[in-house]
Amino acid sequence: MTNAQTNQWMDLGLVEVLRQKPLQEVRVGRTRIALTFLNGTFSAVSGVCNHVGGPLGHGQLDGEYLVCPWHAWKFHCRTGEGEPGYEADKVPRYALEERDGHLWIDTESATPRAKVPHAPHPLARPVVRQPGPLRVVGISTTNMDERHRRVSTSELLLDVALAHAATVSGTETRLIRLSALKFRACEGYYSQAAEACTWPCSITQMDSKDEMDQVYEAIVHWADVILISTPIRWGNASALYYQMVERLNCVQNQITIRNRQLIKNKVAAMIITGGQDNVQAVAGQLLGFFAEIGCTFPPFPYIAHSRGWTAEDMERNVEQVRNSQDLREGAQALVDRAMLAAQRLLATEPMARLSRGGRKAHRLEVERTGAVPE
């Protein structure tokens, strides 16, 4: 040891204990260190990731690289350098010494941190509405076996609405069937830290095979009107609807942590069908969420059909929906209202700034007594 008497050397603990974990986070005061024990050698680098501060000491090892648990950026466990191609992106490394069965770290030996931008994900581009006609995306959330599809009444009415929208001069339409996409359930990055739930979604950044990017692309960058269709399953929207909404937390979280509204001047409307009643509760959930991410609604923002409570003849349900002129006209009128509302929004200046008074994460001025000043 070179200078055990100065304060720069700090005792991390017993070697015998520390060598039991190949990777761990240790703290020296308020400094987080990612400590590794690999092939009989200790190494220490900063425990704070260069990306948005993920805890490298809680990640995993991929050979000699630390893999950040938040978005999988990698740093060499000894040098602190980023993975091949990003060597100039460095987290600080520290000198270590073993003495008398203890491991010591030189807190003054930290090398400089160097941040090099990584290529941004395509979804991270600025959200700018491209010129062109009105654009309507339909998102069908019913869960069907894609190889042996049956008729979904909610999707059937969504198809009617999209076909009608396409007849309005120049309107572009797009249908996304969630059942045809392979996308992971939300893994709760927000619950680790608000900053861990990023835009684009942490999973999307890490997993190029995850197909939720198609939903993000459509509703954030492309569509003016978002039409969501869902069946009712035991009084709730479909399981796939919730899987999608959980992954949309990253859109809402940008408002919370960045005051950044990704969804602007967009209109949402819903089609809800069910074999038992609970239409208004399901509608309430859908409206609440899409309001939360910044959507606007037309008058009467949803249509619905429910059967089964007093007439449990579900074998006739599909036929009834398919042949119902009322429901077809209802679906057409719904998309008409939504498109009209979207045209009006696009013709006006977007709201310059949102007031978040009373909203979650709004920093209210609160006196020490806890009372809000008048």
Binding site for ligand FES (CB under 6 A): 49, 51-54, 68, 70-73
Q: What's the closest the beta carbon of residue 94 comes to ligand FES, in angstroms? A: 19
Beta carbons within 10 angstroms of residue 132's beta carbon: 10
Residue closer to ligand FES by CB (options 87, 100) is: 87
Q: What's the closest the beta carbon of residue 113 comes to ligand FES, in angstroms? A: 13
Q: What's the closest the beta carbon of residue 55 comes to ligand FES, in angstroms? A: 8
Token pair 């990777």: residue: 23
Q: What's the closest the beta carbon of residue 220 comes to ligand FES, in angstroms? A: 20
Residue closer to ligand FES by CB (options 58, 129) is: 58
Q: What's the closest the beta carbon of residue 196 comes to ligand FES, in angstroms? A: 7
Q: What's the closest the beta carbon of residue 71 comes to ligand FES, in angstroms? A: 3
- Quick check: 262 and 306 in contact, CB under 8 A? no
Q: What's the closest the beta carbon of residue 75 comes to ligand FES, in angstroms? A: 9
Q: What's the closest the beta carbon of residue 73 comes to ligand FES, in angstroms? A: 4
Cα distance between residue 71 and residue 58, in whole Å: 12
Residue closer to ligand FES by CB (options 71, 328) is: 71
Residue closer to ligand FES by CB (options 197, 303) is: 197
Q: What's the closest the beta carbon of residue 336 comes to ligand FES, in angstroms? A: 44
Residue closer to ligand FES by CB (options 104, 199) is: 199
Residue closer to ligand FES by CB (options 58, 356) is: 58
Q: What is the dihedral of CA 280, 344, 353, 285, to 10 degrees?
A: 10
Residue closer to ligand FES by CB (options 85, 132) is: 85
Q: What's the closest the beta carbon of residue 206 comes to ligand FES, in angstroms? A: 8
Residue closer to ligand FES by CB (options 51, 76) is: 51
Q: Encoding tokens for residue 164?
A: 């009608």
| φ, ψ (nearest 5 deg) of residue 38 | -130, 130
Residue closer to ligand FES by CB (options 63, 131) is: 63
HEC assignment per residue over the chain: CCCCCCCCEEEEEEHHHHCCCCEEEEEECCEEEEEEEECCEEEEEECECCCCCCEHHHCEEECCEEECCCCCCEEECCCCEECCCCCCCECCEEEEEEECCEEEEEHHHCCCCECCCCCCCHHHCCCCCCCCCCEEEEEECCCCCCCCCCCCHHHHHHHHHHHHHHHCCCCEEEEEEHHHCCCCCCCCHHHHCHHHCCCCCHHHHHCCCCCCHHHHHHHHHHCCEEEEEEEEECCECCHHHHHHHHHCHHHHHHHHHHCCCCCCCCEEEEEEEECCCCHHHHHHHHHHHHHHCCCECCCCCEEEEECCCCCCCHHHHHHHHHHCHHHHHHHHHHHHHHHHHHHHHHHCCCCCCCCCCCCCCCCCCCCCCCCCCC
Residue closer to ligand FES by CB (options 256, 324) is: 256
